[in-house]
Structure 1
Amino acid sequence: MQLAVALLQLLFIVVACILGYVLSREVAIIPGAVLRLPDVYVSQSDLWSLAGIFVTVYLGQIILSNVILRSHGFSSLRRFGTEYLFYLFAYTTASLYSFLATTINYDPQLIAAIGLISTVFYLLAMMMVCLVRDRQGVLASIWQPVWSLVRRLLSIPGVLAIGYFLVPLALGMAFTVDRDIANRITQVRIWFNPVPASEWGLKNLYPELVFEQPVLVRQAPGDTAGLYVLERVGRVYRVPFPVATEKELVLDISDQLGEVEMENGALGLAFHPRFADDAGSRFAYLYYTDTRPAEDQVNRLSRFDFAAPDPAARRATETPLMVLQREGSGFHNGGSLGFGPDGYLYVGVGEGVHPRDQEARSSATVLRSAVLRLDVDEQPDNLSPEPFYWGSLQNYRVPADNPFVDHPDIRGEYWALGLRNPFRFSFDPANGDLWLGDVGSTIWEEVNLIEPGKHYQYPMAEGHHPTGRAGPETLDVPEQGPVYAYEHSAYDRAVIGGVVYRGDRYPSLQGKYVFADNYSAKIFVMPADQSRVDDVDLIARASQYAQRGVSSVAQLESGEILVTTLGAASEPSGEVLVLVRAEEADVVQREDTPTAAPADYDEQASAASFAVNCARCHGVTGDGQGPDAPLLGVPMPDLTSPLYHFQRSAEDIHAVIEKGGAALGMSPLMPPWGEFLQPSEIDHLVIYIQSLPDKHHRH
């Protein structure tokens, strides 16, 4: 009998976890009037982990109570009251463990729902025992179990159980309102969940040099004595390798880009495969945005002849291949360029590369959300581009073996479709496989192995999960999901595609895919020989985070892995880093208190900071109409409204920027910027936000 009752109690807990998960997604178990709590995303895998914790703790509790009291929990009303005290201790212990000792997203609403539903199950079970076994009346069967609980809770052990039960609630409240306590709790969680020590670290390759937002580093074919660094502002520098104290300006098109904000700028650079062998092919290809004028933005793919003698002469050689009209938000441009082993140029274009006209968003008329494949040598056996009405196409041909050349609804340039923002990709030198990091929306980031003729499911799915959104068109194209997908945290939120390592310098990384996250600046590795990967290894972390974080990962011919970090938009502080053994690393996590910035308010710099860090959700003008706003699941405030500022002080705005939404009982999708922005930058950002009504409010 004791075994059967114990199994029933464990079943109660499992069902309570499942029903609690469903109920807490729809109903606030803890009313907002009692405690204002943010929405917390809990995945199904987290649910099962949580259920495992509760079942394990309750199993220990049931065994202990049965051994001590020598009877099962429903043998009598007095025994039931005592069993519930054991239950409260187990419930609180499981809650504390999940809060302090795991990486599960802690949702107080879910924990409360589990407690409420399991308590109801316990009471109903005892009521049925009273009604059926003890043959008591209906009213007696209802009130006697309730009274037995009340009586035990009013005893000294009951008061102690209630006090212990309130500990997670008190910690949860303190976590949401007191940053110092939140930091201490976070440190406890880190202590319980340490990151394994890595043999790797990062070292500044050029400690005497800084760059203005370097987006990538390349080695030109045949030029092992130098590196080319592309700055987001539109400059290309050649830097001697491996040691340099000076950099040589090779190309400057900075005045052709217009405003470099949001995700605009010079984004991609590739060298012709015969760059070193043929004086007539010393070509570099650049992909960049042009916001001049703002209402007629385009993305450009151009060729430059680096055989010209100086930067001005090289600039004069610009030969356009693509001029693509784009919508005006500045987001989701794509950006990667690379020559494949077949000698063709591959181009990553994002979902933002389409004109505002909604009727022009089919793959038969625009080039967007895809990897394109072009013949820049214009071989006669290949095809001329079809007519194009949303920009201009010239100086290339379409490879005759591209997968969609005969498809009536897809232009021939397409190699693969269904990508949101293919910012970085690379080819595996061993087999030619194309690996790509697709920057996601609000929940998922993807690493994809790109195959010709496949659709990678955006916007219908992200990660391995349907979004419930319909695509802009219906295409009869085989679909394929990612090899690896990871959920957003406060900082892991923008994948940077990397390289499959094929070199001798790092033997333990041989054949593994090395990639990064822009916001967290983490460097990861994962197997490159599996169709699906669920776990990756963190091996290093750069010292610049968020929109200052990692922008590219590359491998040199000599085997080194290089990483670029953007640095601040307000001043040149970007770096080129090299992966090294841990004992050689000199890039460490920055202290919580950053160095002071200039005290004078710079509106232009603050506007750039807002555009880079805030506009995706809050909109370029601050009106709450950013491109990701509809996907957040919470209403966005209109920062241009005088009423918004009438209701909030500068201190209120400063607090939510510094501490993030979760710490103030708001949406956890608003990250804390206090660890990334300098104090003066936050001060200036508050001033800029308070000026938005004068700039953009519509009366």
Structure 2
Amino acid sequence: MKHLYTGIIIFLSLLNLNAQTLPDLDFEIFKTGFNSPVSIANAGDDRLFIVEQGGIIKVIDNGNTSTFLNISSIVNDGQSEQGLLGLAFHPNYATNGYFYIHYNNNTSTGSTGKQTSISRFRVEEFNPNIADPSSELVLLTIDQPYWNHNGGCIDFGPDGYLYIGMGDGGSSGDPQNYSQNTQSMLGKMLRIDVDNGNPYSIPSDNPFVGSINTLEEIWAIGLRNPWRFSFDKQTGDMWIGDVGQNAWEEINFQDANSSGGENYGWRCYEGFAPFNSSGCNNSYVDPVQVYENNGWPNDCSVTGGYVYRGTQFPNFVGHYVFTDYCTGKFFTIYDNLGGAGWTTTTQEDTQYGVSTFGEGNDGELYFADINTGIIYHIIDNSPVASNILEISKTEFYPNPTKAGNMVQINNNINFSEITITSLNGQVLYKCITTENAFQIPANLSDGIYFIQVNGLNPNTLVIQND
């Protein structure tokens, strides 16, 4: 699979690389033996944590699996979309030991609904692989009228605030129009400050602070069932997989510079198509990707994923990967025009029941097959030019290096302009210098980049911050 490379470094004549190789995804078993895994998280180290829907969190540490937390007695997983659904570790987890979960408790709040709890727990003081089940602090409860569309994803943004994805309350077609009701937390993306207040506070820059018509916790509205959202660890952009009704599945994108307040359209729209126009207006944000829902056993339910920012697979870097739960078909999206255009790749159907994706601290991506309890590592089999390091006469050292470090330049020509780009050609840094050294920007995350002198053929630059 090839796509013409539209970035700055279009023409690499020495290698005849006038096309960018798109990823060719494959999957290798990482760990087996889980019961209905629905979320994967890391705590800022080499461990992976696997959330089981019934109320247990397992930890994989150096290849060994053990129980981190068992709260099955307070979790209700009586219906297929209920249970322990999400996990997020505090940005300062290494020092405070706090983590947060999204689950259905045993309180009935509707005809078939069980109340949502957003709670904080902490790790045991003397064992990093065991949490204290008695340490729960309930931050927020949200009544659920029906058993389905509970949302379930929870994550900290690059701003340090906790984001909470909530579904529209369930049934079919959002009969109470909760998603567009700004006095309801259902069908919303919420954003709260867990470091201040009792038990939380509202960030001062939330879009509806001071409003008498909209709950201040709301960051964005118009979601049906955001089954997995994530943040690009390099750019801070938010990606949301929102499950459709019966016609369209969609991916929503929020730029890192957004001030919030987006309305993603449900129930007025499903994808780009009108669904229920009652009480609607024209102030909606379109999805960046939709695909047709043809009903089981065809494509019928999106599972949102992550942007790959690891270092093992250069052609995969910068691609957002997601899948359809019903067919196991994988897709990737990447920004090929600096925010002005998207390119999508469709991988083959796999038949995996992908309930969730997860990201390791090193940027490697994983997914869970809920049917088999297997965790897979996503790999890329697309060819990488073995001699790409030789396409430039300029040498940079140390390479790999860390963001913020000084890099020495060794070449035999006069130079003045240094440019660093992503593999997709987006300019990330440019400077003018006559010195034989320059400082790598401090905001570069782990990954592979191109670096050029005077616009000549690029060399690869590897950033490894750990």
* TM-score of the alignment, normalized to the shorter chain, above 0.5: yes
> Shift of residue 533 of structure 1?
6.6
Q: Which is richer in strand?
A: 2
1:576 to 375, 380, 392: 375
> Shift of residue 401 of structure 1?
0.5
Return the alpha-carbon distance in structure 1 between the equivalents of residues 288 and 177 of structure 2.
33
What per-residue deviation string (whole Å, max 9, x for no partner) do you get for residues 441-497 of structure 1?
A: 1010010013411111110111111124425xx68x942110111111342111111
The 3-state SS of whatever aligns with 1:250 is strand
Aligned to 1:551: 355
Residue pair 1:482, 1:532 contacting (<8 A) in 2 also: no
Paired residues for 1:151-230 under 5 Å: 199-206=24-31, 209-221=32-44, 223-224=45-46, 226-230=47-51
Residue pair 1:542, 1:550 contacting (<8 A) in 2 also: no
What per-residue deviation string (whole Å, max 9, x for no partner) do you get for residues 658-695 of structure 1?
A: xxxxxxxxxxxxxxxxxxxxxxxxxxxxxxxxxxxxxx
Aligned to 1:454: 262
Q: Which amino acid aligns with 2:59?
A: R
Residue pair 1:325, 1:353 contacting (<8 A) in 2 also: no
Return the alpha-carbon distance in structure 2 between the equivalents of residues 331 and 262 of structure 1.
8
Q: 1:439 to 1:482 in 2, by over 3 A?
A: same
Return the alpha-carbon distance in structure 1 between the equivalents of residues 79 and 168 of structure 2.
18
Return the alpha-carbon distance in structure 2 between the equivalents of residues 479 and 406 of structure 1.
22
> Shift of residue 229 of structure 1?
0.5
2:285 to 455, 477, 480: 480
Aligned to 2:310: 503
Return the alpha-carbon distance in structure 1 between the equivalents of residues 226 and 154 of structure 2.
10
Return the alpha-carbon distance in structure 2 between the equivalents of residues 233 and 453 of structure 1.
34
The 3-state SS of whatever aligns with 1:334 is coil
> Shift of residue 307 of structure 1?
3.1
Q: Which amino acid aligns with 1:204?
A: I
Q: 1:560 to 1:312 in 2, by over 3 A?
A: closer
Aligned to 1:444: 248
> Shift of residue 293 of structure 1?
4.3
Aligned to 1:234: 55
Return the alpha-carbon distance in structure 2 between the equivalents of residues 199 and 414 of structure 1.
38
Q: Which amino acid aligns with 1:237?
A: K
Return the alpha-carbon distance in structure 2 between the equivalents of residues 466 and 359 of structure 1.
15
1:301 to 93, 118, 132: 118
**Relative contact order (alpha carbons < 8 A, sep ≥ 6): 1 or 2 greater?**
2
> Shift of residue 555 of structure 1?
2.7
Aligned to 1:37: none
Residue pair 2:328, 2:354 contacting (<8 A) in 1 also: yes
Which runs of 5 or more structure 1 residues have no equivalent in the other structure?
Answer: 1-196, 380-393, 568-572, 584-699
Return the alpha-carbon distance in structure 2 between the equivalents of residues 410 and 495 of structure 1.
28
- 254-263 or 226-235, which moves further after superposition? 254-263
Residue pair 2:179, 2:222 contacting (<8 A) in 1 also: no
Q: Does 1:282 align with 2:100?
A: no
Return the alpha-carbon distance in structure 2 between the equivalents of residues 533 and 213 of structure 1.
37
- 412-421 or 251-260, which moves further after superposition? 251-260
> Shift of residue 337 of structure 1?
0.8
> Shift of residue 247 of structure 1?
1.3
Paired residues for 1:89-488 under 5 Å: 199-206=24-31, 209-221=32-44, 223-224=45-46, 226-241=47-62, 244=63, 246-276=64-94, 278=95, 281-293=96-108, 297-308=114-125, 314-328=132-146, 330-352=147-169, 363-378=181-196, 395-450=199-254, 451=258, 452-471=260-279, 478-488=283-293
Residue pair 2:229, 2:305 contacting (<8 A) in 1 also: yes
Q: Which amino acid aligns with 1:285?
A: Y
Return the alpha-carbon distance in structure 1 between the equivalents of residues 342 and 154 of structure 2.
28
What per-residue deviation string (whole Å, max 9, x for no partner) do you get for residues 611-644 of structure 1?
A: xxxxxxxxxxxxxxxxxxxxxxxxxxxxxxxxxx
Return the alpha-carbon distance in structure 2 between the equivalents of residues 574 and 581 of structure 1.
22
Q: Which is richer in helix?
A: 1
Q: Identity over aligned residues, as a percent?
A: 32
Which runs of 5 or more structure 2 residues have no equivalent in the other structure?
Answer: 1-21, 383-466
Return the alpha-carbon distance in structure 2 between the equivalents of residues 449 and 359 of structure 1.
23
Q: 1:510 to 1:302 in 2, by over 3 A?
A: same
> Shift of residue 498 of structure 1?
1.0
Residue pair 1:456, 1:481 contacting (<8 A) in 2 also: yes
> Shift of residue 536 of structure 1?
2.4
TM-score (norm 2): 0.69
What per-residue deviation string (whole Å, max 9, x for no partner) do you get for residues 43-100 of structure 1?
A: xxxxxxxxxxxxxxxxxxxxxxxxxxxxxxxxxxxxxxxxxxxxxxxxxxxxxxxxxx
Q: Which amino acid aligns with 1:466?
A: P
Paired residues for 1:620-631 under 5 Å: none
Q: Which amino acid aligns with 2:195?
A: D
Q: Whose Rg is larger?
A: 1
Q: Which amino acid aligns with 1:203?
A: E
The 3-state SS of whatever aligns with 2:133 is helix
Aligned to 2:344: 536
What per-residue deviation string (whole Å, max 9, x for no partner) do you get for residues 397-433 of structure 1?
A: 0001101113321111111100101111111122211
Residue pair 1:257, 1:292 contacting (<8 A) in 2 also: no
Paired residues for 1:588-603 under 5 Å: none
